[in-house]
């Protein structure tokens, strides 16, 4: 699977309240999507496009177990999240909703806003063409790759039910 898109560059410790503030948790996905990152970057929801990629620092997704966090990013069109590392529950939740999340060491600070990034989910190769940069993501555990390939846990459950 190849993923290509424009980069949105974020810092360390992007928490789940910045992604979906608690006061909107009961709103529809469409309404939650209006508030993503509003406390740190109000341009995000206006300018994000289908296929865009997030490139972040350490501890991306720390905080709550709210699955709306990766779900709403996927809803806004984010195709993949690359980060130095992820908070555990967010990482699992991203995969569970079928949003690829890859740990890429030393990527932070090297990619600029709107750089074109290409990612091969199979090899873990990440390239930033304009800068002639290449990184390698830590391979996803086999179990997580199965979930991504099934389109998330929903797909896994459907397969289970069909058996």
Kindly state whether residue 83 participates in binding another protein, applying the rule CB under 8 A: no
Tell which residue, 51, 61, 55, 46, has the closest CA to residue 112.
55
Point out which span in 13-21, 72-80, 105-113, 114-122 binds another protein (CB under 8 A): 13-21
Kindly state whether residue 41 participates in binding another protein, applying the rule CB under 8 A: no
Q: What is the 3-state secondary structure (H, E, C) of the chain?
A: CEEEEEEEECCCCCEHHHHCCHHHCCCCHHHHHCCCCCCCCCCHHHHCCCCCEEEECCCECECCCCCHHHHHHHHCCCCEEEECCECHHHHHHHHHCCCCEEECCCCCCCCCCCCEEEEECCCCEEEEHHHCEEEECCCCCHHHHHHHHCCCHHHHHHHHHHC
Q: Which is nearer to another protein, 64 or 108 (CB)?
A: 64
Shortest Å distance, C-beta 81 to another protein = 15
Site string for another protein, 86-125 (x = CB under 8 A): -xxx--xx--xx----------------------------
Q: Which is nearer to another protein, 65 or 123 (CB)?
A: 65
Kindly state whether residue 145 participates in binding another protein, applying the rule CB under 8 A: no
Kindly state whether residue 132 participates in binding another protein, applying the rule CB under 8 A: no
Residues that bind another protein (CB under 8 A): 13, 15, 17-18, 21-23, 25-26, 38-40, 58-59, 62-67, 85, 87-89, 92-93, 96-97, 141-143, 152-154, 156-158, 160-162
């Amino acid at each position: 699977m190849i993923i290509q898109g424009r980069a949105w560059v974020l810092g360390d410790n992007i928490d789940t309240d910045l992604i979906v503030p608690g006061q909107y948790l009961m709103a529809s996905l469409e309404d939650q999507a209006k508030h993503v990152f509003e406390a740190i970057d109000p341009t995000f929801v206006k300018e994000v496009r289908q296929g865009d990629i997030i490139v972040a620092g350490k501890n991306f997704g720390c905080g709550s177990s709210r699955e709306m966090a990766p779900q709403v990013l996927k809803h806004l069109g984010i195709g993949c999240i690359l980060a130095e590392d992820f908070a555990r529950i967010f990482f699992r939740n991203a995969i569970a909703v079928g949003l690829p999340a890859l740990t890429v060491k030393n990527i932070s600070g090297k990619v600029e806003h709107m750089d074109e990034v290409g990612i091969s989910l199979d090899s873990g190769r990440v390239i930033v063409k304009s800068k002639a940069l290449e990184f390698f993501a830590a391979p996803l555990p086999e179990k997580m790759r199965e979930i991504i390939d099934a389109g998330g846990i929903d797909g896994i459950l459907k397969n289970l039910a069909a058996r």
